[in-house]
Amino acid sequence: MKYTLIFSLLVAFNVQADWTVKSAPNPKAPGKGLAVAHGGKPVAHFVFGEGQKKPFLHIYGTKGELLTNPGAGPDGKDFGRYPHHRGIYIGWRVISGGKQYDLWHIHKGEIMRVKEIKSAEASKAGVKIVADIEWRTGKVGNSDDLLIAETRSLLISKEGNTTQVDFHTELTADRNLTLGGDLQHAGCHFRAHTEVANKSTKYTSYLWEPEGKKAGNGKILSKEWKWNRLQFPIGGNWYSATQFNSPHQPVEELSWRDYGRFGFFFKKALKKGQVQKLDYRFHIAPSEAPQLESEPPRVSKEQEKTWRATAQSAYKAFVNDLK
């Protein structure tokens, strides 16, 4: 098969300096994918294939611990809170021809399939993966029709102890459709490991820019979203995950949940053949523990000020890189 041949040739084992990318099964869960390492230590894993309804990117911590939600165990069964939230992922409720196809939960037969790994290369700067992905109706309507043809580019690199993921995607409508749904069930999101939800949702905290009042149901309205930062514990360590939003693309709302899932949302009608390009950057890094002694521990105003300044500086760098 074309896919198998290209996949084997490109990613059997690609090495450049301290970065490597190689074909590897999804650890302790269904699927296969591409394992990304730096200096021999795991950094990320692009997961897809049999047993997975959508492709997503896992992120590892400095001690090799998995920071993102796997959603399924070795037996292939879903587990944990909201198991359809997996790693860094994207999805929408797609509306077309008077029907809705849920490419977020993907629980009625819809599916996202990796059609082809176009490239997977390591360089001195990091690893770049480019994949063609089909958003299909699957078993819904018994037709398995194509809705959206996606080309997703993931550039994984390091900035000190920070893992940087540049997530660029191009969504090409195969018919007239609408990227619909609501902010809690659409967009490009990060989901922390289910351990975060199991421990206590009171341990997480958020910062965002621009600052604004919390709206009901974990959302804030703005058309000028710059970034959102989550602080969360895994084991005995603290981490942060920040998503930066390009100023050149639509955005309406910020979706956040205290169990460790967040992302940006918008609705958009697309004509057949129309392309929606999206650019996001993620920073995942070790973080200082909350300073205020309490149970659960709370973040101090000094920490908030420092973290906000750091995120704002990183956002400016992201915007500059987009030029």
Cα angle 282, 278, 191 (rounded to 5 degrees) comes to: 40
Instruction: Read off the pLDDT of residues 146-197 as tens digits, 9 standing for 90 and up.
Output: 999 999 999 999 999 999 999 999 999 999 999 999 889 999 999 999 999 9
What is the pLDDT at residue 6? 47
Instruction: Read off the pLDDT of residues 18-42 as tens digits, 9 standing for 90 and up.
Output: 999 999 999 999 999 999 999 999 9
Confidence of residue 43 (pLDDT cuts 50, 70, 90): very high
DSSP state of 31: -
Measured distance CA(231)–CA(72) in Å, rounded: 24
Tokens of 275: 């392309």
Tokens of 156: 């994984």
Tokens of 259: 């169990």
- Strands across the sheet containing 111-122: 111-122, 126-136, 146-159, 162-173, 275-286, 237-245, 227-234, 205-209
Indicate whether 216 pLDDT > 60: no
**Whether the Cβ atoms of residue 316 and residue 216 lie closer than 8 Å to each other:** no
35 Cβ contact list (under 8 Å, min separation 6): 20, 21, 22, 23, 24, 42, 45
What is the pLDDT at residue 2? 44
Mapping DSSP onto H, E and C, the string for 119-188 reads EEEECCCEEEEEEEEEEECCCHHHCCCEEEEEEEEEEEEEECCEEEEEEEEEEEECCCEEEECCHHHCEE
Indicate whether 221 pLDDT > 60: yes
Instruction: Read off the pLDDT of residues 134-155 as tens digits, 9 standing for 90 and up.
Output: 999 998 867 899 999 999 999 9
Instruction: Read off the pLDDT of residues 229-261 as tens digits, 9 standing for 90 and up.
Output: 999 999 889 999 999 999 999 998 899 999 999
Determine whether 81 is exposed, middle or buried from the number of CB atoms within 10 Å of its CB (0-12, 13-18, 19+): middle
Measured distance CA(248)–CA(235) in Å, rounded: 37
Long-range contacts of 314-322 (CB under 8 A, 24+ apart): 314/227, 314/242, 314/244, 314/281, 314/283, 315/209, 315/226, 315/227, 315/244, 318/244, 318/246, 318/281, 319/246, 319/247, 321/166, 322/246, 322/248, 322/279
CA dihedral 189, 194, 199, 205 (to 10 degrees): -10
> What does DSSP say about strands 219-221 and 253-257: parallel, antiparallel, or unpaired?
antiparallel
Instruction: Read off the pLDDT of residues 87-133 as tens digits, 9 standing for 90 and up.
Output: 999 999 999 999 999 999 999 999 999 999 999 999 999 999 999 99
Indicate whether 4 pLDDT > 60: no
**202-235 residues labelled b (16+ CB within 10 A) or e (exposed):** ebbbbbbbeeeeeeeebbbebeebbbbbbbbbbe
Cα angle 275, 138, 36 (rounded to 5 degrees) comes to: 65
Measured distance CA(79)–CA(197) in Å, rounded: 12
Helices marked H in 145-299: 194-199
Confidence of residue 1 (pLDDT cuts 50, 70, 90): very low
**Taking the model in full, what pTM does it have?**
0.93
Backbone angles phi, psi at 185, to 5 degrees: -140, 40
What is the pLDDT at residue 9? 43
Kindly report the average pLDDT of the chain as a whole number: 91
